[in-house]
């Protein structure tokens, strides 16, 4: 539990850093504090184009990498030539989601002015972060093209990754930005399965308004003064995980009667469905769930006596049920019943199947009204009492028509420090179980502190599942 507390705190408090950024004019002179609306330069950013090319393969030790090329059209609206040390931020907070403490820094930075390479130097800005700086001369009423390019590491955790582009640093130029075209390019078709819209990953949420076109997602902005709300975020299935899906799709297409190929495809889909704290609820996530089910069913049609694929399918159904039960209060009881049936078949085929036993051990604590353990025997209670509403803990039904499932190996009875396998009659067994009950089946007033117990219980469950 001591090891879980830091994870719990980080999950609740982690605020993701931003990544890439517009070029910015130099810091204001010490002591200067211009009034709102005043500028230190008469140079305006007429337009900008940003291309983020996600690489198919990430360098060793990296979650993912993208090549970024940005082009800015600048015009001096003043009456005097300006020679400015233009600056570009080289680092951004990485945080625990990126698996790196401290700051991440972009690599391979280069700059060109009107097509010619210019010398850049590394400086430490007033914000204590490193910046690239290069000199640019802006003649009066002349348009100058500035281009920068670099490599950036994505932020996230398997199987999801995010890329960012900060627009707000461009606010230091004169007036508004005339237009901006932002393009994310993937090494394969961009679609709602691998680009995550309308879903918070925990460290990013894709900026609304992106249009899918072939391998690209595009955003367009007109005449705007950039602020933090304009910064671009893109949430993705990381290329290594999506390439696994594409590979298994190809295997199934070449060998449609191969049950193993279908099972691996179901597993590949499943691995891009579940977030750190839930299941994807966006349209793409719902389609992935359907495709994963379809793949597992095709696998089991061809391999009906494969205990592991039965357990893998049960895992998909159970996890989907669990997260919907706790976070949408619209549980799909049929999915849970199918999960229990798959586990029953799995253990009949292989009483020592570790995946099936692992799932049942989770269920007996998370859903004690559905699964109970007595010695080395698991009682699949819902297979004999279909849940029309959440049963009370004091009247847990006993199996009547199906025999109990035994793993054949005695399982130690929990000690007094562990959670009990049966709930006491005077109070619910777990805060999570009470919290999961549909609103119409709950009773009584909430207990003080219950709001904190549910997230902690979820963290404990996730730690166990992901470990």
243 in a structural domain: no
Smallest CA-to-CA distance from 67 within 105, 106, 104 is with 106
CATH number at residue 110: 2.60.40.3680
195 in a structural domain: yes
* pLDDT, tens only, 25-56: 665 544 433 333 455 899 999 999 999 999 99
Q: Say what the pLDDT of residue 326 is.
A: 75
**In the chain, % of residues over pLDDT 70:** 72
Q: Locate the DSSP E strands across 154-259.
A: 155-157, 160-166, 177-185, 211-213, 216-224, 232-237
Cα–Cα distance measured from residue 11 to residue 455, given in angstroms and rounded to the nearest whole number: 10
Smallest CA-to-CA distance from 315 within 281, 292, 286 is with 292
Q: Say what the pLDDT of residue 95 is.
A: 41
434 in a structural domain: no
* pLDDT, tens only, 80-126: 999 988 988 887 654 433 334 456 788 999 999 999 999 999 988 77
Q: 10 Å Cβ neighbour count for 376?
A: 15
* pLDDT, tens only, 353-378: 999 999 999 999 999 999 999 988 99
Residue 180, pLDDT above cutoff 50: yes
Residue 455, pLDDT above cutoff 90: no
Separation in Å, CA 416 to CA 26, 73, 276, 419, 429: 64, 70, 30, 8, 14
Residue 13 buriedness (CB in 10 A; 0-12 / 13-18 / 19+): exposed
Smallest CA-to-CA distance from 407 within 327, 348, 325, 320 is with 348
200 in a structural domain: yes
Smallest CA-to-CA distance from 138 within 99, 101, 173, 108 is with 173
Cα–Cα distance measured from residue 84 to residue 98, given in angstroms and rounded to the nearest whole number: 34
151 in a structural domain: yes
- Residue 382 CA, chain-centre distance (Å), reads 32
Q: Coil, helix or strand for 193?
A: coil
Report yes or no: 370 and 381 within 8 Å, Cβ to Cβ: yes
Question: How many domains does the chain divide into?
Answer: 1
Range of the structural domain that residue 221 is part of:
16-27+39-237
Report yes or no: 22 and 48 within 8 Å, Cβ to Cβ: yes
Least confident interval from 192-206, 400-414, 444-458:
444-458
339 in a structural domain: no
Residue 329, pLDDT above cutoff 60: yes
Q: Which residues on neighbouring strands pair with residue 352, listed in sequence order?
A: none
Cα–Cα distance measured from residue 396 to residue 313, given in angstroms and rounded to the nearest whole number: 26
50 in a structural domain: yes
Q: What mean pLDDT do residues 292-297 have?
A: 98
Report yes or no: 286 and 262 within 8 Å, Cβ to Cβ: no
Q: In which residue are the tokens 């099972």 written? A: 263
Report yes or no: 226 and 299 within 8 Å, Cβ to Cβ: no
Smallest CA-to-CA distance from 63 within 238, 281, 233, 204 is with 238
309 in a structural domain: no
């Amino acid at each position: 539990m001591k090891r879980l507390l830091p994870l719990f705190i980080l999950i609740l408090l982690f605020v993701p850093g931003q990544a890439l950024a517009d070029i910015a004019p130099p810091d204001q002179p010490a002591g200067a504090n211009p009034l709102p609306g005043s500028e230190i330069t008469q140079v305006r950013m007429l337009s900008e184009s940003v291309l983020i090319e996600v690489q198919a393969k990430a360098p060793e030790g990296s979650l993912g990498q993208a090549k970024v090329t940005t082009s800015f059209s600048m015009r001096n609206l003043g009456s005097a030539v300006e020679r400015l040390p233009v600056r570009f931020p080289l680092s951004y907070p990485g945080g625990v989601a990126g698996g790196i403490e401290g700051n991440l820094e972009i690599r391979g930075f280069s700059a060109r002015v009107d097509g010619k390479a210019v010398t850049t130097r590394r400086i430490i800005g007033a914000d204590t972060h490193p910046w690239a700086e290069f000199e640019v001369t802006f003649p009066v009423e002349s348009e100058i093209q500035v281009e920068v390019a670099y490599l950036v590491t994505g932020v996230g955790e398997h199987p999801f990754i995010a890329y960012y582009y900060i627009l707000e640093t461009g606010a230091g130029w004169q007036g508004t930005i005339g237009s901006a075209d932002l393009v994310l390019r993937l090494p394969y078709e961009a679609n709602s399965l691998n680009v995550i819209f309308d879903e918070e990953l925990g460290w990013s949420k894709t900026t609304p308004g992106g249009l899918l076109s072939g391998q690209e997602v595009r955003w367009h902005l007109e005449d705007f003064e950039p602020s933090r709300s304009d910064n671009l975020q893109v949430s993705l299935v990381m290329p290594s995980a999506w390439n696994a899906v594409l590979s298994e799709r190809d295997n199934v297409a070449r060998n449609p009667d191969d049950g193993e190929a279908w099972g691996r495809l179901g597993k590949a889909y499943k691995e891009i469905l579940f977030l750190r704290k839930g299941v994807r609820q966006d349209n793409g996530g719902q389609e992935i769930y359907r495709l994963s089910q379809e793949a597992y069913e095709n696998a089991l049609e061809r391999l009906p006596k494969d205990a592991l694929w039965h357990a893998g399918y049960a895992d998909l159904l159970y996890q989907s049920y669990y997260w919907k039960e706790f976070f949408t209060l619209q549980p799909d009881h049929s999915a849970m019943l199918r999960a229990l049936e798959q586990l029953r078949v799995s253990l009949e085929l292989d009483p020592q199947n570790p995946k099936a036993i692992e799932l049942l051990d989770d269920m007996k604590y998370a859903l004690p009204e559905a699964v109970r353990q007595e010695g080395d025997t698991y009682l699949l209670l819902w297979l004999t009492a279909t849940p029309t509403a959440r049963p009370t803990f004091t009247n847990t039904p006993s199996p009547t028509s199906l025999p109990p499932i035994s793993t054949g190996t005695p399982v130690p009875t929990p000690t007094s420090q562990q959670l009990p396998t049966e709930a006491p009659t005077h109070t619910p067994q777990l805060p999570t179980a009470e919290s999961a009950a549909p609103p119409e089946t709950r009773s009584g007033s909430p207990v003080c502190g219950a709001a904190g117990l549910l997230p902690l219980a979820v963290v404990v469950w996730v730690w166990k599942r992901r470990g």
